[in-house]
Structure 1
Amino acid sequence: MSESVSVRCPACRREHIYAAPAYPCECGAPVAPPLDPHGTATAVAHRAWDDEWVGVRCTECGREGEWPRPELGCPCGTVLLVPVARSAADDAAQPQAPAARRVFQPITIRTAHDAVTAAAVYLRWLGYRDIRRAGQRPTSGVGISADGLLAQVDPTVQPASLRDVECLWLTAMTESVPCVYFTLSGYSPAARARADTLGVPLFVLDLTGTPQPVNTLADDLDATGAA
């Protein structure tokens, strides 16, 4: 919960103590807009969609989202917009240092479905959004789509082949997005060499559900997250 601030109604001059409500971030942490204790509340004269929201960054995972702008109803009938600290509103448009990502929480793999879930959770941790089942079925395993990415998860006991990597890359090219491959059983030497040529990050999912980078491209993705 955010700190309480004193809010004075400009219409009737009543003074109220107000704390902004918290909403859950995608990472599960509660997020509340930081209030400006030195600001002045203003009465809502008319409603505009852009004025209803304020940019707030989660202190746990660094995600920035749009949250309802804090407001308070005074007994006199006036609806007050509560002032928000500069860091949440004006500074949202200013360059900021990237916040550190929270520690990745893996999903233990016991089934093929767990492997797909673990890969999806990892992609979300990297910063990809709108993760869903891909429209096209891959040559093996399960395809996952996200905003700006296509991934393949292969939970079989056979190492991924050169053809598997090439088919994923070709499908991604038709959708004009990069791609990434996850497998439980590793990759053939030819597949690894071809992935480096095509620019495909390769990961092996260990049984704890933690993706282990196999090539330099995967190391870079793990370090930087979604672009």
Structure 2
Amino acid sequence: MGQLPCYDALEWAMPESVPVRCPACRREHVYAAPSYPCACGAPVSPALDRLTAPAVVTHRVWDEEWVAVRCPACGRGNQWPRPELGCPCGTVLRIPVVPGADHRPVAPRTALDVVTAAALHLHRLGHRDIRRADQRPPSGVGLAARGLLAQVDPSVRPATLRDVECLWLTAMTESAECVYFSLAGYTEDARTRADTLGIPLFVLGPTGPPQPANGPADELHATGA
């Protein structure tokens, strides 16, 4: 599958900065656009629009939370969290990107794309210390953060009851919560068992960000980490 990017360092380099004024308190900020690792290993960052004023985030719409950016090194398109800045006054500002950078995301094309999408989603939910898990799961790739164990299954078969239970047992031994990401979805008994155990299930579809596949995932998506 290739080398997994180093998710220990999700505070990536910040190659571009723009001045930002909060419209609520008039405080001046300098916002630096974060870089994200493309599957090819090159850093990718959204191009910020210096001519457009930032918008205040008053409510959230899932489709507006992401922006697609193309890697200048290999041409691969990936989906990243839309740039935002939190002002100390409590206002959240959405930083505009250059027109043309904001479009529908591309489909995951490799197993590494799938793992990257899951790691970025966990980061978006509030986990900042994502890394490869110490224990390799029976299938797929294990990711870990403080108090969390995630399994990412990029295979073309639905995750099974055994897959879900193995993840839960491993998380129990580490006193951690757990979450499952699957590209091909889940069998019915796997969904039922996950609901009973309170394990969030997400599906990584051909387009778009990971989608909740059960009640615990809906709750996690709504509240974050």
Report the Cα offset of residue 146 of structure 1.
1.6
**Runs of 5+ consecutive residues of structure 2 not aligned to the other structure:** 1-18, 22-26, 36-44, 49-82, 96-101
Indicate conservation of the 8 Å contact 2:20/2:31, yes or no.
no
Indicate conservation of the 8 Å contact 2:148/2:178, yes or no.
yes
Aligned to 1:199: 198
Letter in 2 for 1:22: V
Instruction: Measure the CA separation in 2 of the matches of 1:225 and 1:101.
Output: 19
> Rg larger in 1 or in 2?
1
1:1-227 paired onto structure 2 within 5 Å: 1=19, 22=30, 24=32, 26=34, 61=84, 88=88, 99=92, 108-226=107-225
TM-score, length basis structure 1:
0.58
Report the Cα offset of residue 147 of structure 1.
2.3
TM-score, length basis structure 2:
0.58
Could you say if the C-alpha distance between residues 106 and 199 of structure 1 is closer, same or farther in structure 2, counting changes exceeding 3 Å? farther
Instruction: Measure the CA separation in 2 of the matches of 1:216 and 1:101.
Output: 29
- Once the two structures are superposed, residues 72-102 of structure 1 have per-residue CA deviations (whole angstroms, 9 ceiling, x without a partner) of xxxxxxxxxxxxxxx74xx7xxxx68x5899
Letter in 2 for 1:191: A
**Runs of 5+ consecutive residues of structure 1 not aligned to the other structure:** 4-18, 31-59, 64-86
Report the Cα offset of residue 25 of structure 1.
5.9
Aligned structure 1 segments of 4 or more residues deviating by more than 4 angstroms:
25-30, 99-103
- Once the two structures are superposed, residues 86-128 of structure 1 have per-residue CA deviations (whole angstroms, 9 ceiling, x without a partner) of x74xx7xxxx68x58999x856300111100011111111111
Two-structure CA RMSD over aligned residues (Å): 3.2
Pick 1 or 2: higher relative contact order, CA cutoff 8 A, min separation 6.
Answer: 2
Indicate conservation of the 8 Å contact 1:107/1:117, yes or no.
no
